Structure 1
Amino acid sequence: MLTFLAPSGLLALLGVAVPIAIHLWNRRPGRTVQVGSIRWLAAAANRRMRNLKLEQLALLLLRALLLVVLAMAVAGPVWRQPPPPRRGQVLISADLLSSESLAAVRPSIDSLRRRGYTLRQLTAGFPRISDTTWQEASRQPAVANLLATQPFWARVSQAADSFPGQPVRVYSSATLRHFQGIRPALPANVTWQTVPLPAASAAWLTDASLAADSLKLILSQGTEENVLTSSRTVAKPRSASASLPRLAGLPPLRYEQLADGTMSIQTLAADSPRVAVRTQPLRLWLYHDADHALDARYLQAALRAAALGMATRLELTVSTSPPPTGQRLDWLCWLANASVPAAWQTRVRQGLTLWQDGRRPGLAVATTFGVAPHEARYAVSRLDTLLGTMETVVWQTGQGHAVLSRQALGQGVSYRFHSRLHPAWSTLADSPDLPLLWLGLLQPATDPRPDRHDPRQLDPAQIVSRQPGTAPVAAPLPAAPTDLDLRVWLVLAAALLWAMERLLAGHISSAKAVAV
């Protein structure tokens, strides 16, 4: 479609009247005619004035066309092509694609498909969902590994970069285990809708320990709101390989001795790892100086609460004196301004886990940090700046400051808490999550993916974070039309017409000269 950027420039078309007027009044030069009487001259002149007519029409048309082309160039003509339909992307998570809940959003997805949207899976590489697969999913949900964990936030952020300028519709569940890490800020072209999955509860074996003739099992049971932990005690199997009594909500369990002599419990279900059986108590020494007395009280209370959820027994010693060099320990919590003795630093490489907290004076800050999967934020008012180059940041603030760092040394681990359990340093000591945080540190889960059974759901309002200055949109904005600027071509055409006009005018002048 032809349109003009400056339509007022078309007024220049009035200039076409100029060459027409010139041609009308441009009369040929008179000739000498010998007549017998002058009485005929006046009548002949009057007839010439009454019979004005256009001459040299080819030259006139060239000049008029030249003015028309220049006038259109001034008006800024463009050839406007309608924008192509904006095709978007629909990303569907695997757990939703294999769930009966897909029927609730199928009409909306089918409407997007008719508008040209492409269906893709919310997994690595975003593979396309073929029409055949989509139709089969309507009759029978696809088979998927529901225990698999997908990083939804990272995947959607990657999709926004992979399909720039395209509307992206995301349909997924709100299962908490899929939303780990830092929530990214998404552009406005991403629309995310969560779909509730059928209500379900899950139970799984978390840990196990052996003491005398009994076997203590730590069980976890989760719902959409929370995860509850409980313990069960069963008799120690008499043989090195035997089935355990059935427990409500759990698949069959089998007690087995491995080739290295250690004991484990195998859950007889698909994609379930072995759970190692702990046979020794956990020995922890908590040393503190006078300045850290309050910190030690908070930590002691948290450790005793965490021991209730541990499979093995916790042997806790709280003292204002460092432990003897030959003391057998699994953990040493050093809450003091003095440095850890070299003998105990050497023991870290032999399997000891060392914990140190912040030292005076620290750096005044005003920030918060969170620990997944807990939703609470903990305020931090002071941090020390001791962070080694080989340490891994475990907890960090929103500004990227390290709160807890970890360094593996030989067979042991060294933790450094860059703040303190003191009201002047942080609010972590008053949080009910502190025992749970310590429980995860004292007894790391033997399952490489301990949260894959977790059915808790995240609040949909916490899923999407927009980039500053953007807002979610209900529908994608229409694409801008494509304009082809014609002014360059009109200028070239005007130059060609001018050359032709000059050539024709010169030819006419030469012909007149010859005629005379």
Structure 2
Amino acid sequence: MHFLYPIGLLALAGLIVPLIIHLWNVKQGKTVKIGSIALLGESSRASSKSFKINDWFLLLLRCLLLALLALLLAQPYLKKIVPGNSNKGWILVDKRAIQQVFKTHQKTIDSLLKKGYEIHDFNVGFKPLTLKDTVLNETQQVNTLSYTALLSAANHFVPAGATVYLFVDRRLNRFGNELPTVTYKLKYIPLNQTDTTSSWIASYAGKKYEAKSNPSNTTYQALNSADEVPINIAIHEASGIADGKYLIAALKTIGSFTKRKIIINAAAEKATIGFWLSDDPVSSVFKSSIAAGGSLFQYEKGKVITIPSAINLYGRRIKLSKRVVSNNQSEKIWTDDFGDAILTNEKANDLNIFHFYSRFNPQWSELVWDGVFVKALIPMVIQDKTASDFGFQDHPNDQRRLSVRQNNVFQFNKAELSTKSTQNERLGTLFWIAALLIFVTERILSFRKKPNYVKS
């Protein structure tokens, strides 16, 4: 037996009340005067108290009644094991591909249908399908949700512990970054597909790429490298600070990766972004060296705290040893484990200003040693207001597919739960009935009890 509110059991302390009443029950004798000795006068009155329990059964009923009331406050319930339906399961298939599925896996599907399996559309709502749905509906809306999202949503539709056969293709762009946790047994049956290729033009930060994709890989070729404008970067580093070398190494990596020409501290040209690596306030001369609409990355000065924490970037936790206390209400870009700002962003005086509440020094954090440092700088160095992230992996024409050798890995990452589930059964009604019966019994015994008189 379990309790929804165990704190209600504190009411069991009330059991001491009927015990005290029974122990302190005073037996008061009745004086009877007799005429023949009336002239002798009244004798001195005497009373007695008995601490002896005379009615154990009545005491037990009263204690039991209080105990039941205390248990009712705690709301008792039982956990019952409910076996799942092991004979029936689901067949999930995209309605638009149902013709192909029946053509290539007809024997498997017929066998499953004879066992009581149901066919459902692998789409929002998971509507039931029949053999008549093998006729392709050209007006059906294309499913744009990822397989990960649909499999997670199926947890609310598929009976817990049931077996599900999923007939879908191997396209990687249909899967999310993480495999879902499911409450049913999933058997992934990939569809056979012919090798296809596709190409498209992708753009990022004013640079165009020709993408070519096939089932094994996707490649990108820059188209207008000769027409690209160099990226000018200004760096100011205070004396005694060696943080600039880590920044310069990251900028060279960005240039090598993106094939963009990066010029540091060009004398004649205004900078696209300026890095102020100093505790001193940013000088007006340095601000004027940044082009209008450009960016300024500056160290913030303030109270330094040394609480061990981590910077959270792109799903990674990077050790953070020291940071500056932030009172800035600007948009948080990077945060630590406590949700405090490490990097904020605001627009001011025609500049995009990044306030950094740490340092590139390894004594402050391990950011400069992590490969995510370069990835985190790219959106600031190569600005593109239309791109949500750097890369082109989510394009709908991407033809890459899951390898056959990865099929088992895909299945083992699914959480297959037991065919048994638990169900809570409340016991409140039974306890109320028992309490009522005990209360009635206790009242009947109390009224039938005859008073004891002491004659003298």
**Distance apart, 1:429 and its partner CA:** 2.4
Q: Does 1:284 align with 2:223?
A: no
Q: Distance in 2 between matches of 1:345 and 1:387?
A: 23
Pairs aligned (count) = 339
* Matching of residues 333-482 of structure 1 within 5 Å: 333-341=275-283, 350-356=292-298, 361-367=304-310, 369-371=312-314, 378-386=318-326, 388-393=328-333, 395=334, 404-408=343-347, 412-444=351-383, 446=386, 450-453=392-395, 472-473=415-416, 476-477=419-420
TM-score when scaled to structure 1? 0.46
**Equivalent position amino acid for 1:305 in 2:** T
Q: Does 1:175 align with 2:114?
A: no
SS in 2 for 1:330: strand
Q: Distance in 2 between matches of 1:223 and 1:418?
A: 44
**Distance apart, 1:352 and its partner CA:** 1.6
Q: Distance in 2 between matches of 1:97 and 1:89?
A: 15
Structure 1 match to 2:262: 314
**Distance apart, 1:296 and its partner CA:** 1.6
Q: Distance in 2 between matches of 1:338 and 1:222?
A: 50
Flag the 1:230–1:84 CA change in 2: closer, same or farther, 3 A: closer
**Equivalent position amino acid for 1:438 in 2:** L
- What do the CA deviations read for 1:201-255 (whole angstroms, capped 9, x no partner)? 6654344899xxxxx75445567787655434589xxxxxxxxxxxxxxxxxxxx
Structure 2 match to 1:305: 253
- What do the CA deviations read for 1:323-373 (whole angstroms, capped 9, x no partner)? 9xx97222112222233346877999941222235767354334464527x
Flag the 1:190–1:442 CA change in 2: closer, same or farther, 3 A: farther
**Equivalent position amino acid for 1:189 in 2:** T
Instruction: Decide which structure has the larger Cα Rg and report it.
Output: 1
Native 8 Å contact 2:172 2:400 kept in 1? yes
Structure 2 match to 1:121: 122
SS in 2 for 1:285: strand
Q: Mind listing any 5+ residue stretches in structure 2 that lack a counterpart?
A: 1-79, 435-456
Flag the 1:419–1:92 CA change in 2: closer, same or farther, 3 A: farther
Native 8 Å contact 1:91 1:170 kept in 2? yes
- What do the CA deviations read for 1:375-426 (whole angstroms, capped 9, x no partner)? x764444444437434043x55677565554445586533345544333334
Native 8 Å contact 1:90 1:119 kept in 2? yes
Flag the 1:369–1:194 CA change in 2: closer, same or farther, 3 A: farther
* Matching of residues 32-431 of structure 1 within 5 Å: 107=108, 111=112, 115=116, 117=118, 119-122=120-123, 125-126=124-125, 128=127, 130-131=129-130, 135-136=134-135, 150=145, 153=148, 156-157=151-152, 159-160=154-155, 162-163=156-157, 166=160, 171=166, 173=170, 175=172, 178-180=175-177, 186=181, 189-191=183-185, 204-207=200-203, 217-219=208-210, 229-232=220-223, 280-290=229-239, 292-293=241-242, 295-310=243-258, 313-317=261-265, 328-341=270-283, 350-356=292-298, 361-367=304-310, 369-371=312-314, 378-386=318-326, 388-393=328-333, 395=334, 404-408=343-347, 412-431=351-370
- What do the CA deviations read for 1:103-131 (whole angstroms, capped 9, x no partner)? 67994798389645562435xx4352633
**Equivalent position amino acid for 1:126 in 2:** G
Flag the 1:167–1:309 CA change in 2: closer, same or farther, 3 A: same
**Equivalent position amino acid for 1:413 in 2:** N
**Distance apart, 1:300 and its partner CA:** 0.9
**Equivalent position amino acid for 1:302 in 2:** A
- Report the RMSD for the aligned CA atoms in angstroms: 5.9
Aligned-pair identity (%): 14
Q: Distance in 1 between matches of 2:196 and 2:335?
A: 33
Flag the 1:382–1:83 CA change in 2: closer, same or farther, 3 A: same
Native 8 Å contact 2:99 2:135 kept in 1? no
**Equivalent position amino acid for 2:377 in 1:** W
Native 8 Å contact 2:121 2:127 kept in 1? yes
**Equivalent position amino acid for 2:122 in 1:** Q
Native 8 Å contact 1:89 1:120 kept in 2? no
Flag the 1:367–1:194 CA change in 2: closer, same or farther, 3 A: farther
TM-score when scaled to structure 2? 0.51
Q: Distance in 1 between matches of 2:430 and 2:205?
A: 84
**Equivalent position amino acid for 1:451 in 2:** Q
- What do the CA deviations read for 1:230-286 (whole angstroms, capped 9, x no partner)? 434589xxxxxxxxxxxxxxxxxxxxxxxxxxxxxxxxxxxxxxxxxx764322212
SS in 2 for 1:352: strand
